[in-house]
Amino acid sequence: MQHFQVIQTALINGEWIDSKNKLDVINPATKQKIGSIPNLGVKETQQAIDAAAEAFPIWSKTPPATRANILLKWHNLILQHKSQLAALLSMEGGKALEESRGEIEYGAAFVRWFAEGCRRVDGDIIPSDNPEKRYLVIKQPVGVVGAITPWNFPNAMITRKCAPALAAGCTVVLKPSELTPFSALALAELALEAGIPKGVFNIVTGDAESIGNTLCEDPRVRKISFTGSTRVGQLLMAQCAPTLKRLSLELGGNAPFIVFEDANLDKAVKDLIASRFRNNGQTCVCANRILVQESIFETFLSKLVDAVKKLKVGLAFKDESVQLGPLINQEHLDKMQRLVQDALDKGAECVLGGKPLDMGGYFFEPTILTQLNPTMQISFEEIFGPILALYPFRTEEEALQIANATHAGLASYVFTENMPRLWRMMENLEYGMVGANTGSMSNAITPFGGVKHSGFGREGSKYGIDEYIQLKYLCLDVS
Ligand code: SIN
């Protein structure tokens, strides 16, 4: 590997591709240009699909043990380059360095998990009722996969999609976010070094719309896996209808974080900070609506204010002591101001923060808002930034009603020491994931995904590889 010169070219059929037409990539902490990527479109996406379609017959027939060895080598190379990959990730994504190192480990864990799992994609023999027939089921890779990944996890969302696809025997065309493409290209360089054959893993950088449209419209692409907003997920689903592609959609959340009066409050505060301020509030599973039982509201608030005041904001890409970096761009900074202003105009109280920080990049103060009501935009939008929105509730029924009163259904959290109540809440929260007395639950070995408008499909876990596999029923006449 070129040892971290930033790669600024796309990857098609094993070749690094450049173009005169470029997009700049900006460090969100300084607003300065880090480099640029080729702004590719329809033609290059079709070339990448050609390459992936041509590579599919051989890769899909490569023995799983060989695919597993290549993926394990990729995993090892990723970990060997952990600090360089983390530095790159913090530079383009604004993430705190320690968190970036955590993301590299998180990303590598998907590669290892699916490398191990691809040798266990077992079929079935179904006991036959007919003495003249035998019934078998085999599992085969779906074909060429289009993966579209977001900027908030520039490394781990790529491995979470591409590792199971490659493990299953699919070939991939990846469109990484144009805001954070360098982490993807560095991963691709390591994939080539690990021995992933040409055409099996392709990366097309550039304009989201033309690349996305081409992936959705081409009948050779048999599956799209997307992480991003519900609005874009709906558009992709409509675009994939004519070619009846399989889809995995990991879309927006609006996570309730419910704290009952019998909870361990210190633990709840600590976990709330971990959840809400992960990647400076920019994850789909961040606690979005903090529901606190009325009897402990003031005590909880005061503990929370003390903890939030200690958080250090700054140039996360170069200062190890910084916990919160910038937001990704001006649009997200503007959104924080809009949400706070709208809430204040409608009667909210700003207990802490509430303004942009004059530090050169897209920084916003860690903020706490109370006196909120359902008419405020912050109550129904996914915040995606460092704002804590607190709401009091009286009873368990009321907490559940507020928590479920949203179209979103990704992550939810509940804190109580009352075991029967914990069970009731875990079963009745209408979400794909429930953190029970914990604010962090993502890892490679459990199923990540949502219900309702948060999408469908599961990533990670033993279920993750099924998204890239189709069943074939074989009926054998033995008469
Ligand atoms: C996301 O925000 O989309 C992913 C978060 C996670 O993997 O925990």
Do the domain assignments include residue 1? Answer: no
Task: Give the containing element (helix H, strand E) for 287.
Answer: strand 287-293
227 lines ligand 1 (CB under 6 A): yes
Do the domain assignments include residue 448? Answer: no
Based on the fold, state whether residues 204 and 228 are members of the same structural domain: yes
Based on the fold, state whether residues 40 and 54 are members of the same structural domain: yes
For residue 54, report the distance from its CA to the centre of ligand 1, in Å.
Answer: 32
- In a 10 Å sphere around its CB, with 0-12 CB exposed, 13-18 middle and 19+ buried, how is residue 124 labelled? exposed
Do the domain assignments include residue 173? Answer: yes
Amino acid present at 169 = G
> Which one of the listed residues 250, 365, 396, 467 is annotated catalytic?
250
Residues of the domain holding 234: 10-251+454-477
92-143 pLDDT tens trace: 999 999 999 999 999 999 999 999 999 999 999 999 999 999 999 999 999 9
What is d(CA 191, CA 59) in angstroms, rounded to the nearest whole number?
14
For residue 255, report the distance from its CA to the centre of ligand 1, in Å.
Answer: 12
What is d(CA 216, CA 236) in angstroms, rounded to the nearest whole number?
7
116 is catalytic: no
152 lines ligand 1 (CB under 6 A): yes
Do the domain assignments include residue 449? Answer: no
According to the model, what pLDDT value does residue 4 have?
64
Cα dist from 450 to 211, 397, 453, whole Å: 25, 23, 8
219-271 pLDDT tens trace: 999 999 999 999 999 999 999 999 999 999 999 999 999 999 999 999 999 99
- Pocket perturbation via mutation, ligand 1, pick of 152, 159, 446 by most ligand atoms within 8 A of CB: 152
Based on the fold, state whether residues 245 and 262 are members of the same structural domain: no
Based on the fold, state whether residues 68 and 179 are members of the same structural domain: yes
What is d(CA 91, CA 93) in angstroms, rounded to the nearest whole number?
6
Do the domain assignments include residue 277? Answer: yes
Do the domain assignments include residue 2? Answer: no
What is d(CA 160, CA 167) in angstroms, rounded to the nearest whole number?
11
What is d(CA 156, CA 149) in angstroms, rounded to the nearest whole number?
9
Residue 3 has pLDDT above 80, yes or no: no
Based on the fold, state whether residues 389 and 371 are members of the same structural domain: yes
Token pair of 457 as six digits: 């499909």
For residue 181, report the distance from its CA to the centre of ligand 1, in Å.
Answer: 17
CATH number of the domain where residue 364 is located: 3.40.309.10
336 lines ligand 1 (CB under 6 A): no
Based on the fold, state whether residues 360 and 473 are members of the same structural domain: no
Ranges of H-type helices in 16-94: 42-61, 64-80, 82-93
Cα dist from 73 to 76, 89, 190, 192, whole Å: 5, 21, 9, 10
- Pocket perturbation via mutation, ligand 1, pick of 226, 448, 458 by most ligand atoms within 8 A of CB: 448
398 is catalytic: no
**Average pLDDT of the residues of the chain:** 97
Residue 2 has pLDDT above 70, yes or no: no
For residue 133, report the distance from its CA to the centre of ligand 1, in Å.
Answer: 47
For residue 198, report the distance from its CA to the centre of ligand 1, in Å.
Answer: 29
177 lines ligand 1 (CB under 6 A): no
According to the model, what pLDDT value does residue 404 have?
98
CATH number of the domain where residue 460 is located: 3.40.605.10
> Which one of the listed residues 284, 365, 382, 467 is annotated catalytic?
284
- Pocket perturbation via mutation, ligand 1, pick of 158, 227, 279, 284 by most ligand atoms within 8 A of CB: 284
Residue 1's pLDDT band (cuts 50, 70, 90): very low
Based on the fold, state whether residues 459 and 428 are members of the same structural domain: no
What is d(CA 9, CA 23) in angstroms, rounded to the nearest whole number?
11
Sign of CA dihedral 160, 163, 167, 172: positive
Q: Provide the number of structural domains found in the chain.
A: 2
DSSP one-letter code for 429? S
Report helix angle 181-194 to 64-80, nearest 10: 130
Based on the fold, state whether residues 135 and 277 are members of the same structural domain: no
Residue 8 has pLDDT above 70, yes or no: yes
According to the model, what pLDDT value does residue 5 have?
78
- In a 10 Å sphere around its CB, with 0-12 CB exposed, 13-18 middle and 19+ buried, how is residue 169 labelled? buried
Based on the fold, state whether residues 438 and 472 are members of the same structural domain: no
- Percent of the chain at pLDDT > 90 equals 98
Token pair of 240 as six digits: 């994939």
Across 462-470, average pLDDT: 98
Do the domain assignments include residue 85? Answer: yes
Do the domain assignments include residue 437? Answer: yes
What is d(CA 388, CA 276) in angstroms, rounded to the nearest whole number?
7
Across 469-479, average pLDDT: 98
17 lines ligand 1 (CB under 6 A): no
Q: Where are the beta strands (DSSP E) in 15-68?
A: 15-17, 22-27, 32-38
What is d(CA 258, CA 391) in angstroms, rounded to the nearest whole number?
10
Across 154-171, average pLDDT: 98
- Pocket perturbation via mutation, ligand 1, pick of 285, 441, 461 by most ligand atoms within 8 A of CB: 285
- Is there a contact between 247 and 457 (Cβ–Cβ < 8 Å)? yes
342-401 pLDDT tens trace: 999 999 999 999 999 999 999 999 999 999 999 999 999 999 999 999 999 999 999 999
According to the model, what pLDDT value does residue 134 have?
98
Based on the fold, state whether residues 370 and 400 are members of the same structural domain: yes
Based on the fold, state whether residues 70 and 40 are members of the same structural domain: yes
What is d(CA 213, CA 236) in angstroms, rounded to the nearest whole number?
8
Q: Whose CA is nearest to atom 6 of ligand 1?
A: 442
Based on the fold, state whether residues 463 and 433 are members of the same structural domain: no
Q: Whose CA is nearest to atom 7 of ligand 1?
A: 442
- Is there a contact between 324 and 96 (Cβ–Cβ < 8 Å)? yes
What is d(CA 356, CA 365) in angstroms, rounded to the nearest whole number?
6
